[in-house]
Amino acid sequence: MKNLTCHCNMLVAVIKEQLQETQGLCEYAIYVQALILRLEGNIQESLDLFQTCAVLSPPCADNLKQVARSL
């Protein structure tokens, strides 16, 4: 479990860097961050990020599925 937490922390750091470089418009980075937040139990934050993904890419059904799973 400790190793998994370490990997998640590293991943979150990479995601933050990617979002800074893209002014917060990297859909994939937002999507992965939302998945991590949901796994950590931060459902509302996760939902907000999945909704952001849905706005960034309206035709993507996967984003809407994740929004529904977070409700």
How many domains would you assign to the chain?
1
The string of pLDDT tens digits covering residues 27-69 is 999 999 999 999 889 999 999 999 999 999 999 999 999 999 9
Q: What is the pLDDT of residue 6?
A: 66
Is the pLDDT confidence value at 16 over 80?
Answer: yes
Q: What is the pLDDT of residue 8?
A: 75
Q: What is the pLDDT of residue 3?
A: 63
CATH number at residue 52: 1.25.40
Long-range pairs for 31-36: beta carbons < 8 A, 24 or more residues apart: 31/63, 31/66, 34/66, 34/70, 35/66, 36/8, 36/11, 36/12
What residue numbers bound the domain in which 36 lies? Answer: 2-70
